[in-house]
Structure 1
Amino acid sequence: MAESVSADEVTFRLSRSRRSVPRSRAALHAVLGGWSVCQDVLESAELVLSELVTNALRVPVPRDRQVGVRIARSPADGLLRLEVSDAGSGRPEVRAPGDEETGGRGLLLVEALAHRWGVEERVDGVGKTVWAELKAPDIVAEPVGREVAAAAVRPGQRVRVWGEWRAVVSVRSEPCGEADPAVVMGLDEGPALRVHATEPLTVRDGGMR
């Protein structure tokens, strides 16, 4: 599952497999957890994305054609946008299946849960993109860091180093000549960070990288 991540969107591609539906839900759950989306919106988004991915997997195209997924947020508008792209032609339509039919209700569910939804032609390839927007008034923007002395950093926080946010796993002090002691931080990725205790660092609590 190839993935691209930025502050306000995550994109990835899925193989044409039944396992791709639960994989898309798991990815969505991880992303929305970092964006502090409430449980009701999370559950609705999981249902909507599941239906969109399921429909895309049913499109009659060669098996090597993947399904594209984009999860994006607009904190200023309080909206969460889900997009699923496939290489098929045509436009999905809302059906009204009879009581005896067991399927065909996917877009009815999407229409009921989404603030709005639609279909667009893919501008950079064949096929289409089906999108849905959900109201998410509690969706948060990228957290703003604050500057503290290295000695004040604690495990569980994130520190801005090498141009990226890294989770602090451990913190310990050690002598540093005759001056201030040094602080050594174990990070979730990359080498440990060793700085003077008074060195100013930009930190924030938890959240996504």
Structure 2
Amino acid sequence: MAAQIDVHFRLSRRPRSVPRARSALHAVLAGWGAGDELLHTAELVISELVTNALRVRVPKDRQVGVRITHSATEGLLRLEVSDAGAGRPELKVPDDDDPHGRGLSIVEELSHRWGVDQRVGGIGKTVWSELKAPGLVPCPATREIAAIAVRSGQSVRLWGEWRTIRSVRSEQQATGGVVVVLGLADGPPLRVPAHEPLAVRGSGLSFPSRDGKDSPE
């Protein structure tokens, strides 16, 4: 699927990760101009996918990966949730008095299509759902971070324009401070104090948890 832009992040294996996934998804889609109906549907789907992933038995240090992409060609929003567990989820028909087992039925009902893939280059699987979203206009996620956290391949807003970062290195000053040297795709390198905030967009942006344990996938 040819996506214009994608956002990816990881979540710790805790129940609070479900509302955090919903919140992060809402922030992304709102920035892309999603309407209330799509927001509601996407939040329901991501909630079920993350809930199912958290129920899978895996080592405690394994996190849940979330990826949000959009294809302008197909007009589809794709939600992916990855876990390190074995097996494949299956649709079930629970008893009327059974409160569990309806998650995938909800995903199937709301999705244009959905499926399960083996994780590329890793253990476990990725469960995905695609929703019709022809009106979305994705734009890169933007955050303000310290210069020391900038990575090559990202874009930094400088002098009113977005400049692509080709290289990043740090230098110790005689005064004891640290300076970050950003190599730009065009123009001379930029030297900035390590803790100076910069507006950044591009690969590697994440939605960290309050305890700081969530990280980019």
Pairwise TM-score range, normalised by the shorter structure: 0.5 to 0.7
Amino acid at match of 1:39: D
Is 2:101 the counterpart of 1:116? Answer: no
- Correspondences of 1:149-188 after superposition (within 5 Å): 160-163=160-163
Inter-partner Cα distance in structure 2 for 1:112 and 1:61: 28
Matching residue within 13, 17, 26 for 2:14: 17
Q: Which runs of 5+ in 2 are unaligned?
A: 141-158, 165-196, 200-217
If asked which structure has higher relative contact order (CA below 8 Å, sep 6+), I would say 2
The SS at the match of 2:87 is coil
Inter-partner Cα distance in structure 1 for 2:198 and 2:126: 37
Aligned to 1:93: 90
Q: Percent identity of the aligned residues?
A: 62
The SS at the match of 2:62 is coil
Aligned to 2:36: 39
Distance 1:135 1:163, change over 3 A: same
Deviation at residue 119 of structure 1 after TM alignment: 0.3
The SS at the match of 1:163 is strand
How many positions carry a matched residue from both structures?
Answer: 147
Aligned to 1:78: 75
Aligned to 1:139: 136
Work out which of the two has the higher radius of gyration on C-alpha atoms and give 1 or 2: 1
Deviation string for 1:57-83 (max 9, x for gaps)?
Answer: 000111110000000011221100000
Inter-partner Cα distance in structure 1 for 2:133 and 2:29: 10
Deviation at residue 190 of structure 1 after TM alignment: 4.0
Distance 1:21 1:116, change over 3 A: same
Across the aligned residues of Structure 1 and Structure 2, the Cα RMSD in angstroms comes to: 2.0
Aligned to 1:66: 63
- Say whether the 8 Å CA contact 2:31–2:138 is kept in structure 1: no
TM-score calculated relative to the size of structure 1: 0.66
- Correspondences of 1:48-67 after superposition (within 5 Å): 48-67=45-64
The SS at the match of 2:7 is strand
Inter-partner Cα distance in structure 1 for 2:138 and 2:45: 22
Is 2:99 the counterpart of 1:102? Answer: yes
Aligned to 1:151: none
Amino acid at match of 1:161: E
Inter-partner Cα distance in structure 1 for 2:115 and 2:38: 19
Inter-partner Cα distance in structure 1 for 2:83 and 2:198: 36
Aligned to 2:214: none
Q: Which runs of 5+ in 1 are unaligned?
A: 1-5, 144-158, 165-188, 192-209
Deviation at residue 142 of structure 1 after TM alignment: 4.1
